Amino acid sequence: MITYDRLFIGGSWVAPSDPRLLDIASPHDQSVIGRVAQAQPADVDRAVTAARESFEEGVWRLTPPTERIAVLRRFNALREEHAERAAHLISLENGSAGWFTRAGQPGLTRQANAYFKAAEEFGWEETPAPSDPASPVRSVVRREAIGVVAAVIPWNSPFSSATSKIIPALLAGNSVVLKVSPENSLSMGFLAELLERSGLPGGVISVLPAGRETSEYLVSHPEVDKIAFTGSTRAGRRIASIAGEQLKRVSLELGGKSAAVILPDADIAAAVAGLKFGSLLNNGESCIAQTRILAPREKYEEVVGALKKLVESLRVGDPGDPDTFIGPMIRPDQQERVRDYIRLGIEEGARLVTGGPQIPEGLEKGNYVTPTVFADVDNSMRIAQEEIFGPVLVVIAYDDEDDAVRIANDSPYGLSGGIWSADEARALAVARRIRTGTLTLNGAPLAFDGPFGGFKSSGIGREYGAVGLGTYTEYKTITL
């Protein structure tokens, strides 16, 4: 049993305003695996006050960038040292398969290193050449910290979401209140322990597990200057409205319903093998999952058959079992939500290729869903338009490249996607026509030096690299 009966506020572990602890249930079998304190508005006030005081006093924002980088490199080294512990806790509380949580740890290092490189090369203060060389006027352009950042992250990939926000925010000199989901109280409690050991000054960072009402209290707090949010599009709209009313800076990384376009010249076997990871990573509970599979009409049944064979080969079960590929959904309500979408697909007239709404045999105690593939799907169906957030794939036929691009773009979302082709130039030409923030060709991994974020209802702003770092700064121009 893991217990966190205190909250990490301003760099110290303190008693919560509400002493009651929340039981954390295992998604695998509903056993209680931990008990944790949950933040209330009074705790938010303490965290924001600590952040504001530390920011105004300049204990961190006036620290030279090189020293800020050194502290955060120390944090990242601690995280690398304890990567196995972090992976274990995420699997325990989330139900994410062990292969996924372990495989994600090197990605966190690449993500952090991209931010460090950006910070080392960043134009913290520059003197641009004047447009008129004869003019006596000169300008000094500075990039300065915004202030108090409220970073709000979802439950599905907590370490990745947390580090993608707190590292650039802190590198830029801000003070941060990280609000995490109650479901992630164990792994994020461990994250707080690593932050405590990293050498950040007092007041600069807080980690608060809390529910939605407390989250809204945080983002609405008058002393918060910027909101960085990852989560559902519905919640993002609410946060954007709050930010608009209060003129807070805001960045939103929201939902997706990404398309994987298999071009006619693609190696079908290789493409489907790659979609094992691109479409079904993290039990399908991933905003970047490519869950709309667009297949050329002349090879449609070949693609459907290969996906059927793939999905039926995947081991579903205990996330702690090294042979498991797909674990349980995080909560019973999420399990029911995914099963309802599977029922809806059947009602809409899609062909059920494999899977269905039944719970996998022998796994009735957990939040399990049978991985499902639908064929003969029209892109107007709800199962093709709405984010299901589970192991459900829909296969849509297209006639030619123009039709494939049209279908891929016929979505309220635009977060991710993929192209599969034997001709890289052809794949790149198609990728340029699809309105989405990130695309991978032939299963390439995400590049953390480039910006990540969404078009349309998938969000506002970008994360990763120099662009992501810049979103946590304000421009200041001093004219001489």
Catalytic residues, which ones? 253, 287
Q: Which two tokens stand for residue 404?
A: 């494939």
- Residue bearing tokens 């205190």: 6
DSSP 386-438: S---SSEEEEEEESSHHHHHHHHH-SSEES-EEEE-S-HHHHHHHHHHS--S-
Pairing mode, strands 413-414 and 455-456: antiparallel
CA 313 to each of CA 209, 374, 428: distance values in angstroms, whole numbers, following the listed order: 37, 16, 31
Q: Which two tokens stand for residue 103?
A: 């495989």
CB 56 within 8 A of CB 24: no
Rounded Cα distance, 410 and 396, in Å: 12
* Strands ordered across the beta sheet of 205-209: 12-14, 7-9, 205-209, 175-180, 148-152, 226-230, 249-253, 459-460
Rounded Cα distance, 89 and 26, in Å: 11
Nearest Cα residue to 226 out of 206, 205, 201, 243: 243
φ/ψ region of 138 (left if φ > 0, alpha if ψ in -120 to 50, else beta) reads: beta
